[in-house]
Amino acid sequence: MTSCISKLNNENKSIIILYLEELKYKEIAEITGLTENHIAVKMKRIKKILLDCITNKI
């Protein structure tokens, strides 16, 4: 999974790392300066990218 995370751009990598640290979307939004809704949309896209990457490795 770390190899898939390393393929993300810096912004997405930061968001997923904060998410994996169990921060809420509101907290991630405060740290990144993005809106909570924007974080939710980005997380949906990031999860799809990671799922595709992991699936291809299996």
pTM exceeds cut of 0.85: yes
In the chain, how many domains are there? 1
Other CB atoms closer than 10 Å to residue 11's CB: what's the count?
12
pLDDT at 29: 98
Domain that holds residue 45: 2-57
pLDDT at 35: 98
Q: Contact 39/25 with Cβ under 8 angstroms?
A: yes
Other CB atoms closer than 10 Å to residue 29's CB: what's the count?
19
pLDDT at 6: 94
pLDDT at 2: 84
Residue found under tokens 């810096």: 10
Distance (Å) of CA 5 to CA 35, 38, 44, 45: 22, 19, 14, 13
pLDDT tens digits, one per residue of 1-58: 789 999 999 999 999 999 999 999 999 999 999 999 999 999 999 999 999 999 998 8
Which CATH number fits the domain that encloses residue 11?
Answer: 1.10.10.10
